[in-house]
Amino acid sequence: MINSEFLKNLNNFQKEAVLHTSGPLLIVAGAGSGKTKVLTSRIANIVEKNLAFPNEILAVTFTNKAAREMQNRIGFILKKKAVGLPWLGTFHSICAKILRKHAKAVNLTQNFTIIDQDDQQRLIKNICKSKNIDIKKISPNFVLALINKWKNSGWYPKNVRISRGQTLEKNMLEVYKVYQEKLTDLNACDFGDLILHCVKIFEENQDINKIYSKKFKYILVDEYQDTNYIQSKWLKHLTLLHNNICCVGDDDQSIYSWRGAEIKNFLEFDKVYENTKIIRLEDNYRSTQNILNVASHLISYNENRLGKKLNSNKAEGEKIRLNCFRNGKDEAIGVSDIIENELKKKYSYNNIAILVRAIFQTREFEERFLKIGLPYRILGGTKFYERAEIKNCISYLRIIQHEKDDLAFERIINVPKRSIGESSFKQINEYARKNNLSLENASQNLIDQNSIKPKTKLGLLSFLNMIKKWRNDYSVKKINHVKLLQVILDESGYSASLKDKKDLENESRLENIKELLSAMKEFDNLESFLEHVSLATAIDQQWEGEKINLMTMHASKGLEFDAVFLPCWEEGMFPHQKSIDEKGQNGLEEERRLAYVGITRAKDLSFISFSLNRFYQGDWIDSLSSRFVDELPEKFIEKNNNLERDDQDFEFNQDIDNDNENFRSPGWIRYQKRLK
């Protein structure tokens, strides 16, 4: 028997969405409006009223976690542990299931292999080598990203359209052709193929298309604003007969265009599906009204949206606080002071989050928290000093300072690639151990004895000579530690290796290295900086229990916290200049949607901040507050006094300026005690 209470727990609009069971339905679900509850209740209602058997319902999510949550909720409503929804899953899992049955139609057998990213990379590398494409300059990840983009657009190699003059894409198209041929030879496909092949099967085999369009009496799709072209096309093929498709999402939270998501799928849903009913879920169960007012006002500047007004089920709440700081360091100090002096008394650290536009922006907050002993975690990423490119840079610096630092030597001996393979390193390691030598000295001895393979010898000798030269630069020529790292990055070829590979991941790595150079300028010499890194990571390892959450705004989607900080709202940083340069107005609107997502993560308190100056890429720059700051509604914003002052009169509670402990944060006091 169905849990009769489930309909009573729905508001009128949620109930309408659940009970509307005829024809296409678009549910515009605002942040925190209970969209998962609606989807699960809708499926339960369909099953309970015998409108369809469970195996006649197709429910599509973007993650396995969301699918499991939906399954469990439906089981609870229907009072059954296993309702038996065989067609509840992700786009890829469902397409794989269909493809297994009809693999022959795309020249595969039923037992085809789905290759993972590592397999994809190896295959691309081999193809590039055969076509004399330098993978040091064009990363396999870049090639795969381009292939995925074409597949998301519904293009097999023969369908790809390349603009005149796009030589690089022409070359990559040749790789794509061979890549698809190899996959067929291997009886394999990648994740992009799962949907692409299904669409091809439906288009070329109307009888198969009819089987599934007849089978699925009801189709439900979660997070529809995140779908790409080929996913929307696949869904359209499945609605030929019954046309009972229900899509849930929020156009104001469409932030993944860089992954292929197309917001127009959502905005033009009623054009694709005639007689669409649109229901807006505008009652928010997460945030205070003031938070929603600010978010709604900001997003109203976007032109490409369906529009809605969010109403809170909670109190009006506190105004969003807008804080101006002198620089990035002061911003980190200000945030930590608010956490320790205000929030710590009310909230668990687990329910406090700092959301940044780019991952490198966590560094100053990490530095501050490490200094004063505030525990934190990075969600959806790695802590600053644990990132591979940062550890590589620090290893280079460590080997300059200590020639016996074998761990540092081992890490960077082949970074970037110097033709020093595993067998050669094993030879060096064994010689060092037998003769009680450092790896560096062992390498030099083996070269002197001519005991290393010629190609390896060249790479190793070049590496050792560079180390000697850099040590001389630092100890004799007395170049400072910041300049030293810049020289190392240039002369080692490490910077070039990251720049040459056209890869979003490498762009992020370069940003992190620039932030490292900024961090180093805060220390007098190499020794003090390396000591700081060692102590910082040691402190971090001691933390257990509750931690403050640091993450990008992209990573925060779907999450919620009691209090949220949104720092670094400066023009060029946020909205990100690259997004505007590449996508124009569309890019700006997506950045604004990202701001909307960030603000609506907060349940009770939200803090937005910017700095007048920022140490960026090794230099001080004057900052302008983000245009989004100007778009915030004055009525629901509380500004700090600094926003009304001239720069000359600017003051803030600085750790370094005031010796009176009565004015210091608890963290500052802990730090002073630790020093003593």
Residues β-bridged to residue 625: 570
| Strand 613-616, strand 619-622: pairing | antiparallel
35 given a catalytic annotation: yes
Estimate to the nearest angstrom the gap between the alpha carbon of 417 and the chain centroid. Answer: 28
Q: Which of 193, 222, 337, 367 is catalytic?
A: 222
Give the burial class of 541: count Cβ atoms within 10 A of its Cβ; 0-12 exposed, 13-18 middle, 19 or more buried: exposed
d(CA 556, CA 542): 26
SS (H, E, C) 312-369: ECCCCCCCEEEEEECCHHHHHHHHHHHHHHHHCCCCCHHHEEEEECCHHHHHHHHHHH
Asked whether 30 and 281 are in contact (CB, 8 A), the reply is yes
Cβ neighbours of residue 67 closer than 8 Å, sequence gap 6 or more? 59, 61, 88, 89, 90, 93
Cβ count within 10 A of residue 77: 22
Q: Which of 37, 411, 601, 614 is catalytic?
A: 601
Consecutive H or E run containing 173 = helix 167-185
d(CA 8, CA 4): 8
d(CA 484, CA 400): 10
| Residue that has been written with the tokens 């370069």 in this structure | 510
In 3D space, the residue among 201, 24, 188 whose CA is nearest the CA of residue 112 turns out to be: 188
Q: Which of 16, 21, 36, 401 is catalytic?
A: 36
Q: Give yes or no for a cis peptide into 86 (omega within 30° of 0).
A: no
Exposure string over 135-173, b if 16+ CB within 10 A, otherwise e? beebbbbbbbbbbbbbbbbbbebeebeeeeeeeeeeebb
Cβ count within 10 A of residue 638: 13
36 given a catalytic annotation: yes
Q: Which of 223, 389, 589, 655 is catalytic?
A: 223
Q: Three-state SS for 491?
A: helix
In 3D space, the residue among 261, 271, 209 whose CA is nearest the CA of residue 235 turns out to be: 209
Q: Three-state SS for 541?
A: helix
Asked whether 328 and 364 are in contact (CB, 8 A), the reply is yes
Asked whether 200 and 184 are in contact (CB, 8 A), the reply is no
253 given a catalytic annotation: yes
Residues β-bridged to residue 114: 189
Consecutive H or E run containing 60 = strand 57-61
Active site residues: 35-36, 222-223, 253, 601
